[in-house]
Amino acid sequence: MKPVIRVPYFEIGTKNYIWGDKVLEYAKAADAAAEKYDIDVIFITPAVEIRRIAENTKNLIILAPYMDTLRPGRGMADILPEALKDAGAQGVVVNHSEKPMSLPAIKAAIDRANELDMLVFACADTIAEAKAIAQLHPDIINPEPSELIGGAGGGVSDMSYVKESIKVIKDIYPDIMVEQAAGITNGQQVYDFIMAGSEAAGAASGIMNADDPLAMIDEMIAATRRAADDLKKQQLSP
């Protein structure tokens, strides 16, 4: 059975900014903040780091950044889905802008992940791509303009893009969770995206390049908690 994620959640991607003991340090900080604020946290980290993080944390939903679709047997250097799951990965990212995939390849990865009850976190650049990927029914779609990823664009997705991408995806499959993550560098942006209708926010470079990455992890997860509380107040108000 796939993990059940409570929304709003927060997502952290380490990419290859850090490795080894530093990855574990950040994972433990995220794990502590997830417990402190009672927020589900997705932690995406290179395959070689997955087992150690899984064995040393208890609150994180750990995702691999990529996998191949081969089956056990031959396949030198390919990343076997079963091996990722055995290491502790609960899901996988597909089609990140730094590891783009064709639609047939995305579908093949989704099918393999579903066989193993692994979450599928799909990335999309344009609204049109988000719509096409939604037809394949991944668990999560993260629509983010590629020019904003990594902080290169000096900003975040504008709210018209955020709202349109959410509508396009939800019109196809309402149960697909939609995250916004491009260019986020502080907790207020996390809060604003969630209050605008996103079910989650996330960051990679916004944390990894922060003056104090551990403090930024806490700030962003705290902002997710604040948004969750304010959304609940809105639902309860007459």
Task: Return the closest-CA partner of residue 206 out of 222, 190, 191.
Answer: 190
* Contact in structure between 123 and 134 (CB atoms under 8 Å): no
| Region class of 183: left (phi > 0), else alpha (psi between -120 and 50), else beta | left
The residue from 129, 144, 179, 199 that is catalytic is 144
Peptide bond into 174 cis (omega under 30): no
- Residue of 96, 129, 199, 219 marked active site: 96
Measured in whole angstroms, the distance separating CA 159 from the mean position of its chain's CA atoms is 19
Annotation says 115 is catalytic? no
Quote the CA–CA distance of 202 and 43 in Å, as a whole number: 10
- DSSP character for 6? P
Residue appearing with tokens 């629509």: 143
User: How far apart, in whole angstroms, are the C-alpha atoms of residue 170 and residue 177?
Assistant: 8
The number of beta carbons lying within 10 Å of the beta carbon of residue 237 is 6
CA quadruple 103, 109, 114, 120: dihedral sign? negative
Is 96 a residue of the active site?
yes
Residues annotated as part of the active site = 96, 144
